[in-house]
Amino acid sequence: MQVLVGAGAAGRRAVCAVALAVVLTGCSAGAEDDAKAAESTSASAASVARSGGSLGAKGSDCELPVTFDIAEEWTAEAVDGSTEADGELAEELADALLHQGPVTAACEVDAKPAGNIGFLRVWTGEPGDDDARTVLKAFVAAEDGVSKERYRTFTTGGLTGAEVEYLYTSEILEETKEERALAVTTPRGPVVLHLGGLDTEEHRAMLPAYELAKKTLRTG
């Protein structure tokens, strides 16, 4: 089973930081001052990375309700939702890391081959009546330690979606860092793209890859 880091409630973050640090490679490290983390990153977000190929279509590394381009050298891997955890507690922890609010982890796009530490993660859900903003708010609400959320609407490829920038503070690690996510709805269900990162510096360095995915997002 592929396990996720940086999603879910504070207890999941604590497990990542303390109990599963060896296995879970996306754990946060390096403190960020709250004021620094709150600074605008619009200049960084405006740039778009060079495409390294498309993701989401049938036959791609992750088959999804949407397609989008990933940055050069970034690598994608589908998240295996099956669990073979040993014991009830381990199963609960594994399940908690695979679900956040109304969506379930579907794909991880890893920045490490490109020289950054972090992931662009894709979460998918069941079809329903909730709009993109409602889905996104539920996704964020399921994560403890969130503050200073800033929501906005965007359009791309015939889709209208919602996007949020926020600060995540780990009480265990006593760190604050920037994160962001977007959501769209499709006939096959909602999709959330989330960009975390080791710290705010890594997060900002990965923004061009996030902007590439957002710009090229289409219904699959």
Q: Specify the pLDDT at position 114.
A: 97
Domain residue extents for the chain: 30-81+100-219
DSSP notation for 148-164: EEEEEEEEETTEEEEEE
Q: Give exposure, 184-215, as e/b (b: 16+ Cβ within 10 Å).
A: bbbeebbbbbbbbbbbbbbbbbbbbbbbbbbe
The tens digit of pLDDT for each residue in 64-119 reads 999 999 999 999 999 987 656 566 776 677 777 899 999 999 999 999 999 999 99
C-beta of residue 76 within 8 angstroms of C-beta of residue 70:
yes
C-beta of residue 198 within 8 angstroms of C-beta of residue 29:
yes
- 57/7: higher pLDDT: 57
Q: Which uninterrupted H or E stretch holds 140?
A: helix 132-141
CA distance 27 to 24: 6
The tens digit of pLDDT for each residue in 134-143 reads 999 999 999 9
CATH topology of domain 30-81+100-219: Protein Transport Mog1p; Chain A (3.40.1000)
Q: Is the dihedral of CA 130, 133, 135, 141 positive or negative?
A: negative
- 37/98: higher pLDDT: 98
